[in-house]
Amino acid sequence: MTPDNIIDISQQALYVITMLAAPMLISALAIGLLIGMFQAATQINEMTLSFIPKLLILVVSIMIAGPWMLELILNYTRRLFISIPTLIG
């Protein structure tokens, strides 16, 4: 196993992690921005006001993107397992 192989596997892992986290982070960011604008417009400074909508939007985003996320991580794992003989030998 060469350092190039390790770097390649690490880059693929970081890409998969980024793709897995993106739907949840983007949806939480969007709802947080909307709630922040609402709080600024109405001058309601309640810290817990944004918690429940963010939690709900995260559950919805996992329900929508969950099958795609599962397929992505399964494909990465399969490719990694298939490449084990070439990495060892």
pLDDT of 21: 95
Could you give the percent of the chain with pLDDT greater than 70?
100
Query: Model confidence over 28-71: pLDDT tens digits?
Result: 999 999 998 998 898 888 878 888 999 999 999 999 999 999 99
Q: Count structural domains, the chain.
A: 1
pLDDT of 45: 80
pLDDT of 68: 97
Q: In the 3-class helix/strand/coil scheme, how is the chain assigned residue by residue?
A: CCHHHHHHHHHHHHHHHHHHHHHHHHHHHHHHHHHHHHHHHHCCCCHHHHHHHHHHHHHHHHHHHHHHHHHHHHHHHHHHHHCHHHHHC
Name the pTM for this structure: 0.80
Region 66-79: what's the mean pLDDT? 96
CB-count burial class (<10 Å; 0-12, 13-18, 19+) for 3: exposed
Q: Which domain holds residue 84?
A: 3-88
